[in-house]
Chain A
Amino acid sequence: MSRAYPRIVLGVLGIAVLVVVATGQYTSYVRAGTWPALVITGLTLVVLAGHGALREWQHHDAVRRTRTFGVPAESGHSGHGHTGPAHTGHAHTGSTWVLLLAPVACLALLAPPSLGSYSAARAPDAVLAAPDTTDIGFEDLWEPLPAGGVVPLPLSEFITRARWDDSKELERRTVRLTGFVLPRPVGRAGDEPWQLARMGINCCAADATVYRVRMADPGGLTVTDPAADSWVEVEGRWVSEPAAATDPVAVAEPPLLRIERVRSVPVPEQPYD
């Protein structure tokens, strides 16, 4: 039985990978676009486990027949039953393969959520480089904001436009941003009660950077600050501030949004920007 352990581990891991893709939970860990690679990986693991079990069964079947019909097998028969093709491989690996179950146990027990305010307070700010505007104007790079009422924007685009769009179109439009609540940084003035944050990832959550927008609440809309890590949808208008830095890649103070409406929303399907 114990020789089957490595196969069970591969099979369980493969099923776990397929489950996190099927439930959409994988978007809390890696980029949404990686699902085909994950499906292939999960299926490969399941096939490897199944194939191993099949070979083991065939082998034992052959050994049993040999014994039943009394046909002498090749010399060294006594040890033969334990040297089948399916299980000689891991003889020298120690047993580190058992640890392949650790991510599965972690997933099943904790269902780790997407990174929240704990990580946002520690991660570096995402670098949003200035678009190359030497030859063409900024307007040529950015589509004008869509016509109509409130404009939904990803935090990354809002921050980039606030920083670099010389036409200051954002000042004239109400935008809708979705993110989680990052409590007030220490030492911040009372009229900036909290920040709206969203993490951005390039490959997986280990390389996460944070997008932040400061919330200005002169109207006292959020009498008590919303709880840290709760997801909210904020409508409001950008407040233009004098530019601090001219370095095209320097990280500046997060832009400021005067909030007009706040409502809580469920965690989006793709929690990263």
Chain B
Amino acid sequence: MPVRTLPEPAGRGAGPAGPGAADAQVAPTRPGRAATVLFWLLLTVAAVGALAGSEFRDRLGVPPPVRAWSTVFVSIALQSLPFLVMGVALSALVTVALPVERLLAWLPSRPAAAVPVAGVAGVVLPGCECASVPVAAGLIGRGVPAAAALTFLLSSPAINPVVLVSTAVAFPGRPDVVLARFLASLGAAVVVGLLWARFGRPGWLTLPRRPATSDGSPPGFLEVMRHDLVHAGGFVVVGAMLAASVNVLVPTSWLLAISEREWAGVLVLATLAVLVAICSEADAFVAASFTQFSMTAKLAFMVVGPMVDVKLISLQAGTFGRRFALRFAPLTFVAAVFASAVVGWWLM
């Protein structure tokens, strides 16, 4: 069984070695000491909390900001989980069952043509950004060119029917907002894909390794799913913690005070989209509530959010490696802001 050396994402206490040398070389699967301690600590807290009941909770006297933080944290985690599971299931399906040869034959071989096709194909995945990362990883694992798969990763959470319909509901009587969101998102995704095809290096992207079986048989659907979920789940939790902290610590009214200048408003809402990590199916409603800002700034919020946010960066770092996320996230941010500005000033 070949072992590829991979950089440890986020540097969390990864177990360096099992008891035996052979063990360590073949399957360094054991959690490190810090992780083991954390595992038992969290499990104990959960058990104590579940047994103690509400009176104990009342006596804890949790201050309101901490309570608000815990509500938002649990909400984001609970809301992303079904999408993550769906994405992981689709990814496993891609890995185990999709006739990729046929898919590749259908995809143009030149990147300049394959990237826009992959971008438009994003329409078919009705989910949010948590689902798109594992699916893209599955596609790359099966030999789809990285630039095309990454374009799909960026476009699908932004231009699928569910998101477009919720955008139309959030901005009643403004079909131009829906069109602008579609065009700016697709444009940004294609630009990033083309840049990656032209300048990207294979070494930047660490391919997600598939679970291998000892007897060489291909891994089953459930094995791939479990592998991907264990792999990605923790990073979604990290993102949810960051987003909940921003939600509680930074009142929106602070940001709204900076809305006077047009270009500043665009940058403020684009940055806010990165920090608050709101699901792409709901972000249009939040964008609509920023009434002091220009339409272009609101558009930037809706274009940047599904492509770059703390939860997504964390998930990408976990899936494709930190070297990837460090390059991909800033590139995508710039492309998304630029696309929003151009489409916003053109259409609205």
Contact = CB atoms under 8 A, between A and B. Distances in A.
Query: Do chains A and B interact in one complex?
Result: yes
Interface of A: 2-3, 5-10, 12-13, 16-17, 20, 26, 28-30, 34, 37-38, 40-41, 44-45, 47-49, 51-52, 55, 59, 76, 78-80, 82-119, 122-127, 129, 132, 202-207, 209, 249-251
Closest 3 CB pairs of A and B: A96-B234, A203-B282, A89-B227
Contacts of A85: 211, 213-214, 219-220, 223
A51 B252 contact: no
B320 interface: no
B283 A82 contact: no
Contacts of B170: 202
Given A109-B48, A132-B173, A204-B279, A47 B12 contact: no
Nearest to B77: A103
Contact of A94 (B8, B76, B213): B8
Nearest to B28: A91
A97 B28 contact: no
Nearest to A20: B78
17 contacts: A8-B43, A10-B233, A51-B226, A85-B211, A92-B6, A95-B32, A95-B38, A100-B233, A103-B240, A104-B46, A109-B45, A119-B71, A202-B282, A203-B279, A206-B276, A206-B278, A250-B291
Given A91-B3, A95-B12, A109-B46, 13 more contacts: A30-B79, A41-B85, A51-B226, A89-B211, A89-B223, A91-B209, A95-B35, A98-B39, A108-B45, A115-B72, A123-B252, A206-B247, A206-B276
A87 to B, nearest CB: 5
A62 to B, nearest CB: 10
Contact of A101 (B42, B282, B283, B285): B42
A111 B231 CA distance: 27
Nearest to B30: A2
B49 A6 contact: no
Given A99-B238, A108-B50, A2 B36 contact: yes
Nearest to A36: B82
A127 B289 contact: yes
B13 interface: yes
B14 interface: yes
Contact of A9 (B29, B39, B54, B74): B39
**Dominant SS among interface residues on chain B:** helix
Contacts of B20: 78-79
A6 B57 CA distance: 28
Size class of the B contact interface (CB-based, 8 Å): 35 or more
B347 interface: no
B203 interface: no
B30 to A, nearest CB: 5
A40 B82 CA distance: 8
Q: Which of A9, A105, A107, A203 has the most CB of B within 10 A?
A: A203
Contacts of A98: 12, 31, 35, 38-39, 42, 234
B65 A48 contact: no
B64 A106 contact: no
A45 B252 contact: no
Contacts of A95: 12-15, 31-32, 34-35, 38, 234
Interface in B195-232: 209, 211-214, 219-220, 222-223, 225-227, 229-231
A83 B75 contact: no
A7 to B, nearest CB: 8
Interface in B248-269: 248, 251-253, 256
A80 B214 contact: yes
Interface string B1-18: 101101011111111001
B63 to A, nearest CB: 9
Q: Which of B1, B12, B18, B256 has the most CB of A within 10 A?
A: B12
Contacts of A13: 81, 233
B79 A94 contact: no
B223 A124 contact: no
A88 B68 contact: no
Interface in B109-132: none
Contact of B26 (A16, A41, A83, A92): A83
Nearest to B32: A95
A191 to B, nearest CB: 26
B243 to A, nearest CB: 6
Given A2-B30, A30-B78, A101-B43, A94 B12 contact: yes
Given A105-B49, A122-B253, A91 B29 contact: yes
A54 B29 CA distance: 18
A103 B73 contact: yes
Contacts of A34: 79, 82
B70 A110 contact: yes
A21 to B, nearest CB: 10
A38 B238 contact: no
A130 B223 CA distance: 52
A117 B288 CA distance: 22
Q: Which of B45, B209, B214 has the most CB of A within 10 A?
A: B214
A205 B71 contact: yes
